[in-house]
Amino acid sequence: MQKIISYPFSILFYLFFSLWLVIFHPIQWVCYNVFGYNAHRWSVAILNWFLVRTTHLLGTTYSIKGMENVPNNVPVIIVSNHQSLYDIPPYIWFLRKLHPKFISKKELGKGIPSVSYNLKYGGSALIDRKDPKQALPEIKKVAEYINKNNYSVVIFPEGTRSKTGKPKEFATNGLKMLYKFAPDAYFLPVTINNSWKMTRFGQFPLGLGNRLEFIIHSPLKISDYSFEEIFEKTEKVITQHIKI
């Protein structure tokens, strides 16, 4: 029944979602090329406010727990499980003070209004997962960038989205590069719940009435741990709080 009811709401959602992407693409261009980094960053944040609010058309609500755990004025490596593309806008909006960048597959760097422009010019890393010689230097570059400027980077070490909410095994390579080349940073583990239900029927129609939960756990200072220790602690705290 929910699937049938969802069709008109999904059409309305995609119309508005696409509209914001198209509208904000030239706004991003002007902000970046005329006014610089901070103007561009705020244009992206405001775009994602619209994207988050547009999900309310589907009855989506949000619960953000642990904002008091977010470090200030330090580089941050946000490590998270990954359930759908609707994980992304809440990070950009709710954690906007951290200037979040992303480790993203290079295919997203072209062809998508607003999204591709931000990934290409906003400081994120576009990587080829099948080519470590290309991917690892890009991750190194973003690690040094956030370490120098006290920004953050979001990484989903599962690699691909979980379609059922059940976490996949975390990969180590990307996290290891961030650990090595952002030595002043903190790992900030975040657990996402219920995002997968947005796409339980696929990309169309979308799920209705879901409450997306983001649990921000206590930060872990890189210099206090070996990589093996911080990786184990991070993966454990994230996966222990996933609700299947």
The one-digit pLDDT tens for each residue of the chain (244 residues) are 778 899 999 999 999 999 999 999 999 999 999 999 999 999 999 999 999 999 999 999 999 999 999 999 999 999 999 999 999 999 999 999 999 999 998 898 899 999 999 999 999 999 988 888 888 999 999 999 999 999 999 999 987 778 888 888 899 999 999 999 999 999 999 999 999 999 999 999 999 999 999 999 999 999 999 999 999 999 999 999 999 7
CA–CA gap between residue 36 and residue 26 (Å, rounded): 14
Domains in the chain, please, with CATH?
Answer: 2-240 (3.40.1130)
pLDDT in the model for residue 92: 98
- Characterise 160 by phi-psi region: left (phi > 0), alpha (psi -120 to 50), beta (else): beta
Query: Which residues have CB under 8 Å from 34's CB, separation 6+?
Result: none
Residue 92: Cβ-neighbour burial (10 angstroms; 0-12, 13-18, 19+): buried
**Cα–Cα distance list, 143 to 32, 38, 96 (Å):** 22, 20, 18
Tell me the DSSP string of 69-111: G--SSS-EEEEE----GGGHHHHHHHTGGG-EEEEEEGGGGSS
Q: Specify the DSSP element, H or E, that contains 154.
A: strand 152-155
